[in-house]
A = this chain, B = another copy of it.
Amino acid sequence: MELKESLHQHPSQPRSKNEKQAMVNRLKRIEGQVRGIQKMIEEDRYCVDVLVQISAINAALNKVGFSVTERHIKHCVSDAILSGDGEETIEELMDVMKQFSK
């Protein structure tokens, strides 16, 4: 399912500096977890332990995804609804939710 070109370049209300730093820190931890798996593969660690780590990263990424989604609905989608053209933004949101659920 190809996602249409997104409607905007930027969120209607950019994150504060602290919000940004908190999100970047979460992503840096995930980056470190991915490096950790590389090491497990190099050290021939047991497959089940590798799989447990992969599912931990998936869970961490899903949390980041949900927090981006919540912020998107509270700002971009809400602003579009308040300015009378929510339909397209809601359909864009549904497209990305369907992609996320795969």
Contacts and interface: CB of A to CB of B under 8 A. Distances in A.
Interface of A: 3, 6-11, 14-15, 20, 23-24, 27-28, 30-31, 34-35, 37-38, 41-42, 44-52, 54-55, 57-59, 61-62, 64-66, 68-74, 76-78, 81-82, 86-87, 90-94, 96-102
Contacts of A10: 44-46
Copies in the complex: 4
A57 to B, nearest CB: 6
Given A58-B61, A58-B62, A81-B78, A48 B24 contact: no
A51 B73 contact: no
B51 A68 contact: yes
